[in-house]
Amino acid sequence: MERITKEQIQAWLPKREPDAHKGDFGRILVIAGSNGMMGACILACRAAFRSGSGLVAACCPEELFPVVHAGVPEATCVSRETFVLSRYDAAAIGSGLGVTRENYETVCRILREYEGPAVLDADGINCLSEYGVPSASEIQPALILTPHAGEAARLVNAAAEAGRPPVTPQEIASDRAFYGKFLAKRLGAVCIMKGRNSLVCLPDGTVYENTTGNAGMATGGSGDVLTGVTVSLAGQYAAQGVSAQSAAVLAAVCGTYLHGLAGDLAAEKWGEAGLMAGDIANCAAIALKYIDKK
Model confidence pLDDT, tens digit, residues 238-280: 999 999 999 999 999 999 999 999 999 999 999 999 999 999 9
- Contact of 192 with 198, CB cutoff 8 Å: yes
Q: What is the pLDDT of residue 161?
A: 80
Q: What is the pLDDT of residue 293?
A: 66
pTM of the model as a whole:
0.97
DSSP 22-66: GGGG-EEEEE---TT-HHHHHHHHHHHHHTT-SEEEEE--GGGHH
- 127 Cβ partners below 8 Å, 6+ apart? 94, 97, 99, 100, 103, 104, 107
Q: What kind and span of H or E run contains 137?
A: none
Structural domain boundaries, residue 189: 2-11+19-292
Q: What kind and span of H or E run contains 143?
A: strand 142-145
Q: Are strands 27-31 and 55-59 parallel, antiparallel or unpaired?
A: parallel
Q: In a structure prediction context, what are the per-residue pLDDT tens digits for the chain, which is 294 residues long?
A: 999 999 999 999 998 888 888 888 999 999 999 999 999 999 999 999 999 999 999 999 999 999 999 999 999 999 999 999 999 999 999 999 999 999 999 999 999 999 999 999 999 999 999 999 999 999 999 999 999 999 999 999 999 887 789 999 999 999 999 999 999 999 999 999 999 999 999 999 999 999 999 999 999 999 999 999 999 999 999 999 999 999 999 999 999 999 999 999 999 999 999 999 999 999 999 999 999 865
The number of distinct structural domains making up the chain is: 1
Q: What is the CATH number of the domain that holds 183?
A: 3.40.1190.20
Q: Which residues of 51-62 are buried (b: 16+ CB within 10 A; e: fewer)?
A: bbbbbbbbbbee
- 73 Cβ partners below 8 Å, 6+ apart? none
Q: What kind and span of H or E run contains 224?
A: helix 222-239
| Neighbour tally for 2: CB within 10 Å | 11
